[in-house]
């Protein structure tokens, strides 16, 4: 899959997930992720690495969005499951993981760029989700989102890079 198709596929998952959540449903996110993931993995030369990175991204989403929800810094319109991050947001994290070895692979050896992109881009995405009522977030929440993503994105980018190395040597 081309880098352009990869990022467009991710954006489709994001929009479907957010608009579904705004209407109290996580299922559109799951369906969109299954479609994008199936297509991405069927065309990928790094399937195992993509799966490892997607799994790491889901784990990061559980920690990051679970903590944001637990502290009340972000309130989700569709909060289930209640003990961890909502299903729809985990679908977004998983789809995002599928970009890290493809359209966002340029971040793998640029941790400061990844941190900057995470710090600036994630709050904008959360603000956009708030505009369609998928979440509620205030200034403190946006600051927390930026700080957590400034750490998470370089770590996930590195995870994608090392997953590539494991696949090459396997």
40 close to 9: Cβ distance less than 8 angstroms: yes
91 lies in which domain range? 3-169
Q: What is the DSSP string of 72-95?
A: TSEEESS--STTSS-HHHHHHHHH
Residue predicted with more confidence, 96 or 81: 96
Among 38, 40, 34, 33, which residue's Cα sits nearest to residue 6? 40
For 31, the enclosing helix (H) or strand (E) is helix 27-43
Q: What is the pLDDT of residues 12-34, one digit of tens each?
A: 999 999 999 999 999 999 999 99
Q: Is the peptide bond before 81 cis (omega within 30 degrees of 0)?
A: yes
- Determine the pLDDT at residue 1: 79
pTM: 0.94
Q: Would you state the structure tokens that stand for residue 35, as one six-digit string?
A: 């479609």
SS3 136: strand
Confidence of residue 69 (pLDDT cuts 50, 70, 90): very high
Q: Is 60 exceeded by the pLDDT of residue 71?
A: yes
User: Rounded to the nearest 5 degrees, what angle is found at the Cα of 69, between the Cα atoms of 84 and 157?
Assistant: 70
Q: Is 60 exceeded by the pLDDT of residue 168?
A: no
125 close to 74: Cβ distance less than 8 angstroms: no
Rounded to an integer, the average pLDDT of 54-81 is 92
How many domains does the chain divide into?
A: 1
Rounded to an integer, the average pLDDT of 150-170 is 83
* Range with the poorest average pLDDT among 38-42, 80-84, 128-132: 80-84
Q: What is the pLDDT of residues 109-149, one digit of tens each?
A: 999 999 999 999 999 999 999 999 999 999 999 999 999 99
Q: What is the mean pLDDT of the chain?
A: 94
Q: How many CB atoms lie within 10 A of CB 125?
A: 15
Q: Is 80 exceeded by the pLDDT of residue 63?
A: yes
- Determine the pLDDT at residue 23: 95
């Amino acid at each position: 899959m081309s880098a352009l198709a990869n990022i467009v596929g991710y954006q489709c998952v994001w929009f479907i997930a957010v608009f579904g959540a705004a209407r109290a449903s996580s299922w559109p996110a799951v369906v969109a992720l299954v479609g994008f993931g199936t297509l991405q993995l069927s065309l990928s030369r790094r399937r195992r690495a993509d799966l490892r990175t997607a799994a790491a991204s889901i784990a990061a989403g559980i920690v990051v969005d679970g903590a944001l929800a637990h502290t009340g810094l972000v309130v989700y319109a569709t909060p289930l499951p209640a003990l961890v991050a909502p299903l729809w947001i985990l679908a977004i994290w998983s789809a995002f993981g599928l970009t890290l070895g493809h359209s966002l692979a340029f971040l793998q050896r640029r941790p400061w760029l990844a941190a900057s992109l995470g710090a600036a881009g994630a709050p904008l995405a959360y603000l956009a989700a708030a505009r369609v009522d998928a979440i509620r977030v205030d200034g403190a929440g946006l600051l927390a989102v930026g700080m957590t993503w400034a750490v998470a994105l370089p770590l996930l980018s590195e995870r994608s890079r090392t997953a590539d190395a494991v696949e090459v040597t396997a």
